[in-house]
Amino acid sequence: MEILKNLLKKSNYIDSDKVFKAFGVSPCISENMKQHVKLWDDIYKNQAPWLQSETVFDMLYNPGKALKSLNLPKVITSELSRLATFDLDITLDKGKEQSQEKTNTNKITKTNEQPTEQEQAVLNAIETIKDEAPQIVETLTAVGTVILKPNGNGFDVLTPFDFIPIAVDNKNNLTSVIFIDKIERGKDTFIRLEFHDLKDNGDYTIKNKAFLSSGRSYDLKEIPLNSLDDWAEIQEETTFYNIESPFFVVLKYPQANNIDEACGLGVSCFANSIEQFEDIDVAYTRLVDEINSSNKIVFVSNFAIDTNNHDVLRGKNSRLPNYVMGLEFGVNEETTIHEHNPQLQTEVRKSGINALLGYIGYQCGFSNGYFQFNEKTGLTTATQIEADQQRTVQTISLLRKVIETSIRKLFDITLTMSGIFDNIRASENIEISFYFKDITANFEEDRQRNLQLVEKNILPKWKYLVEFEGYTETEAKQMVSEANKDGGSEKQDDYGNQIEQLQKQYVEGNKRATEETEEPDKGIHER
């Protein structure tokens, strides 16, 4: 019972018979799965159980931490998110007859036509998803499941702490969910539960109920929805017909759930590496502690130290250095000075950490050797994904497939809901296109190779400027055109200088154009 209270206090998990009786349902998630999700979240936030104070000594001298942390779970989830989403581009296509200019500016290219309301809703969703994609994917890899739920102005990003799974279909996809919305006012907590239920016949029901939790009590009292102005306009119950999928999208990390198969949730990318995370924090703590305690110590005779002040020499007012101490019992005082230099096992301990990193990285879907530990730079990752790192490539490919499939579903739901709630007629031939950067590509190698193609007049200069210098196609073509007019040579030996010249001429051209606009009375400048 105490565990459930802590879950309710620290998260949005609600496990009350009164709540489920109000909807006439029961959750399909086990207590074991709840505890695992909470553990994954704690580990991701660097609050793992083994990092907490467990002894009186820790409480006094090392508060909050029994071990030092390498924070590896955060590193792994961030790296997965970076590889899966970097250079992600999403565009809106309105049929084959309309063309769009593809740029590398990571901005949506719109057609010249004014977008419809429905298209605008999709465009807004695209902009939002591109901005939030890295954080969404990182959260997904950490806790295993994320739900994207359209809210009329965009979409909400929900973790397993924000909803309760109720039912799944024969493919283990969630069809019934209770979403949790909490508002705290003083000592009172107002909770709105939004129950989504999709039946096999296409009937889709949304029910809303409000509850109040006062003070420290975890008992929920049902109250009217209009008890809060925030919820006053929300309908208590609405039913839609002939609905093919729920009005939410579930993203699950592409790994089998071996904890609770029937709950419809995914598992964390590091679900099978918990013990190893503790092991590597132990190894890292020992390494750091050894380094911190490795200072040279010089022992001198106690006769040389002032008996009243052990920090100064006898008969003098000279302070002793920090590394100088009085001789301990058992040390031969016939030798006035005794020097102690601790022997470090740094390389051995570092090798142990790297061995654990290799094992954990492999468990989390990375190729061997992807993560390395260096005492100078700390934890590092591979600067380039080599072609032979198939395990990393496959993991990212699976993750990108989840991203693309889920986002397509989100846009389909956005279009459907726009037609239902806003009475907007659906546009024909609306499609979205995805672009993912090849993770095995090396920017500098590609740049040099394309420079050679330009020098051989195989690749147009403007294409190089677009791909590797960040210019739009229009800007690049204008730069090349102005360079040719001003006497730029196509066969210039030093192409790096030529590119620099093109950029300089482009800036000067814009400056001249500005001067012409601002000072028309000075006549036309020669070109």
Q: What is the pLDDT of residue 221?
A: 86
Structure tokens, 176: 């019934």
Which tens digit of pLDDT belongs to each residue from 221-236?
Answer: 889 998 888 998 899 9
Residue 154 gets the label, from left (phi > 0), alpha (psi -120 to 50) or beta, of: left
Segment 67-71 mean pLDDT: 88
Q: What percent of the chain has pLDDT over 70?
A: 65
**Model confidence at 335: pLDDT above 80:** no
> Which has more confidence, 345 or 396?
396
Under the banding of pLDDT at 50, 70 and 90, the label for residue 73 is very high
In angstroms, the Cα distances linking 385 to 83, 84, 369, 388, 394 are 10, 13, 11, 8, 12
Instruction: Please spell the DSSP secondary structure of 100-158, one letter per residue.
Output: ----SS--PPPPSSPPPHHHHHHHHHHHHHHHHHHHHHHHHHHHSEEEEEE-SSSEEEE
286-333: pLDDT as tens digits: 888 777 666 666 665 555 554 555 454 444 455 445 545 444 544 455
- Cα–Cα distance measured from residue 10 to residue 38, given in angstroms and rounded to the nearest whole number: 9
Residues found in the chain: 527
Across 470-488, average pLDDT: 79
- Identify the pLDDT of residue 521: 43
Q: Which residues pair with 158 in a beta bridge?
A: 147
CB 18 within 8 A of CB 210: no
Angle CA 343–344–345, to nearest 5: 125
Residue range 116-121: average pLDDT? 68
pLDDT at 109 over 50: no
pLDDT beyond 50 at 90: yes
> Mean pLDDT for the chain?
76
Whether the predicted pLDDT of 489 surpasses 60: no
Which backbone phi and psi does 45 adopt, to 5 degrees? Answer: -85, 15
pTM: 0.71
pLDDT at residue 433 in the model: 82
pLDDT above 90 (res 157): yes
pLDDT, position 102:
38
8 A C-beta contact, residue 429 and residue 94 = yes
Residue 523 pLDDT class (50, 70, 90 cuts): very low
Residue type for 507, please? V
Mean local confidence (pLDDT), 480-489: 72
- Who's near 414: CB < 8 A, 6+ residues apart? 121, 122, 125, 150, 155
Q: Return the bridge partners of 249, or none.
A: 148
pLDDT of residue 188: 87
Q: Is residue 11 predicted with pLDDT exceeding 60?
A: no
- Residues 21-65 pLDDT 10s: 889 999 999 999 999 999 999 999 999 988 876 555 555 555 555
The Cβ of residue 263 has, within 10 Å, a number of other Cβ atoms equal to: 22
Confidence of residue 4 (pLDDT cuts 50, 70, 90): very low
**Where does the pLDDT of residue 491 fall: very low under 50, low under 70, confident under 90, or very high at 90 and above?**
very low
Least-confidence region, from 5-9, 88-92, 135-139 = 5-9
Q: Hey, which of 56-65, 435-444, 500-509 has the most confident mean pLDDT?
A: 435-444
Q: Which long-range contacts (CB under 8 A, 24 or more apart) does 6-14 make?
A: 7/34, 7/35, 7/38, 8/218, 10/38, 11/38, 11/41, 11/161, 12/161, 12/162, 12/180, 12/182, 13/161, 13/164, 14/164, 14/180, 14/191, 14/193, 14/220
Instruction: Find the helix or strand (DSSP H, E) in which 444 lies.
Output: helix 443-455
Q: Which band of pLDDT confidence, cut at 50, 70 and 90, is reported for residue 105?
A: very low
Bridging pattern class, strands 188-198 and 297-300: unpaired
CB count in 10 Å sphere of residue 119: 20
Per-residue pLDDT of 414-429, as tens digits, reads 777 766 655 544 444 5
The set of residues, in sequence order, having a beta carbon less than 8 Å from that of 502 and lying 6+ positions away, is 461, 465, 479, 480, 482, 483, 488
How does residue 467 score in pLDDT terms, banded at 50, 70 and 90?
confident
CA-nearest of 118, 87, 399, 409 to 248 is 409
